[in-house]
Amino acid sequence: MDVRKQVVDSLLALADIKVGGSNPWDIKIYDERTYEWVLKSRNLGLGEAYMEGFWECERIDEFIYRILKARLDEKVKENLNNLLLYLFARLFNLQSRRRAHQVAEEHYDLGNDLFTSFLDPYLQYSCAYFRDTEDLAQAQINKMELLCTKMELKATDHVLDIGCGWGGLAKYMAERYGCSVVGINISTEQIRFAREFCKDLPVEIRYSDYRDVSGNFDKVVSVGMFEHVGQKNYRIFMEKVHQLLKDGGIFVLQTIGGNKSTVNCDAWIAKYIFPNGMLPSIAQIGKAVEGLFVIEDWHNLGPHYDKTLISWHKNFVQAWPKLKENYSERFRRMWEYYLLSCAGAFRARHIQLWQIIFTKIGTPQPRYCHR
């Protein structure tokens, strides 16, 4: 037996995964190069092998869940390429002003036809809140309402939405609460859509890096953007929010987070989905706000992201017959692997989703924290 196959099969067995087995999380390997790629490049090799059609699995989300729950990712040694990526991220600012545009161009500008095919009507490309519902659209409204409740939003507020996406949250806040909103973004496709989406509302959509924003705001919110800020810029980001937020104001941050501090992202995600992305840890966020903000509340909604991703995948599969005119079969496999592997990672509690309430020192505690 090939030694590489023996090693991989033995590792998978530790997670109750069998090659050629009958369980939904078992995998079928069609190309023996899978073993070499996994041992050489770990998670990057596993994802690339799937994109090439080297292996299949009925439930990729369950497959990844079991791998991460058994911590198999820690049992395969780092290779030289991974170590070089780590050192590069440690030494250089991968999320500088110039490099920050890369993720907008390569991911968020892929095409609005893709994102509108699987997202809810408010185009919320972030974790929903499935409280008392199984419906994605209602769960996203629940999420936006929860953010507004935590901000104590009112009609007289002037709100900054950092990384406003397609403008869904800005639209909801303006429609539901009558407040004025400034949304900032660096994705040209999202900005174009958001301006039309929020037309005739007190919403201004600006093309701006967060480092260049000026003004004073009663409330600041940022959803699903902090993952692109990078550890070398966390303090800069928080200092900018502190500068923009009026005394007595509230800042609510929603971000995916990691269980330990790192300087780079999952290799496959960084290469194919979110260039230069990285997930902050509790320690890194705490250090970034030290002396600037009081952390009033830290809410973990991680299990809701599992359900969100499964809902997105279901919608994507249903929409594929139309999408395939503009996207390749390799793209389909990449996108499905992205959605389902991330669902598995949240299910395994390998990554988290946090909503965090911040106030300036001296601000009365927000009402939500009295619950």
- Three-state SS sequence of 155-213: CCCEEEEECCCCCHHHHHHHHHHCCEEEEEECCHHHHHHHHHHCCCCCEEEEECCHHHC
Residues 138-163 have pLDDT tens digits of 999 999 999 999 999 999 999 999 99
Which H or E run contains 296? strand 293-300
pLDDT at 364: 96
H-type alpha helices, the chain = 3-14, 33-51, 60-69, 80-91, 97-103, 112-118, 136-151, 168-177, 188-197, 234-244, 267-272, 282-289, 302-323, 329-347
Which H or E run contains 28? strand 27-29
Report, as an integer, the average pLDDT of 120-132: 97
| Cα-Cα end-to-end distance for the chain | 60
Q: Does the structure show a pLDDT above 60 at 209?
A: yes
Which H or E run contains 246? strand 245-258
Q: Is the dihedral of CA 173, 175, 177, 182 positive or negative?
A: positive
Percentage of residues of the chain with pLDDT beyond 70: 90
Q: How far apart are CA 143 and CA 158, in angstroms?
A: 20
Of 295, 306, 309, 270, nearest in space to 88 by CA = 270
Backbone angles phi, psi at 357, to 5 degrees: -100, 130
Tokens read off for 278? 């990285």
Task: Tell me what the pLDDT averaged over the chain comes to.
Answer: 91
Q: Does the structure show a pLDDT above 70 at 197?
A: yes
CA dihedral 46, 49, 55, 58 (to 10 degrees): 60
Report, as an integer, the average pLDDT of 187-193: 93
Q: Does the structure show a pLDDT above 50 at 107?
A: yes
Among 19-23, 45-49, 99-103, 269-273, the minimum mean pLDDT is found in 99-103
pLDDT band at 265 (very low <50, low <70, confident <90, very high): confident
pLDDT band at 317 (very low <50, low <70, confident <90, very high): very high
Residue 204: count of CB within 10 angstroms of its CB: 13
Q: What is the model's pTM?
A: 0.91
Report, as an integer, the average pLDDT of 83-102: 50
Domains for the chain: give ranges and CATH numbers. Answer: 3-77 (no CATH), 96-370 (3.40.50.150)
Of 231, 258, 253, 283, nearest in space to 96 by CA = 231
Q: How far apart are CA 307 and CA 97, in angstroms?
A: 34
Higher-pLDDT residue of 296 and 79 is 296
Report, as an integer, the average pLDDT of 315-339: 96
Q: How far apart are CA 26 and CA 36, in angstroms?
A: 19
pLDDT at 184: 97
Between strands 55-57 and 180-185, the pairing is unpaired
Residues in the chain: 371
CA angle 203, 116, 96 (to 5 degrees): 65
Q: Does the structure show a pLDDT above 50 at 357?
A: yes
Q: How far apart are CA 339 and CA 160, in angstroms?
A: 29
Among 2-6, 105-109, 161-165, 325-329, the minimum mean pLDDT is found in 105-109
CA dihedral 73, 77, 82, 83 (to 10 degrees): 130
pLDDT band at 88 (very low <50, low <70, confident <90, very high): very low
pLDDT band at 101 (very low <50, low <70, confident <90, very high): low
Would you please indicate which residues are annotated as catalytic (active-site) residues? Answer: 342
Query: Can you say how many angstroms the Cα of residue 346 is from the centroid of all Cα atoms in its chain?
Result: 11
Backbone angles phi, psi at 223, to 5 degrees: -125, 120
Q: Does the structure show a pLDDT above 60 at 104?
A: no
Report, as an integer, the average pLDDT of 108-124: 87
Q: Does the structure show a pLDDT above 70 at 102?
A: no
Q: Does the structure show a pLDDT above 90 at 73?
A: no
Q: How far apart are CA 69 and CA 6, in angstroms?
A: 21
Residues 77-86 have pLDDT tens digits of 544 444 444 4
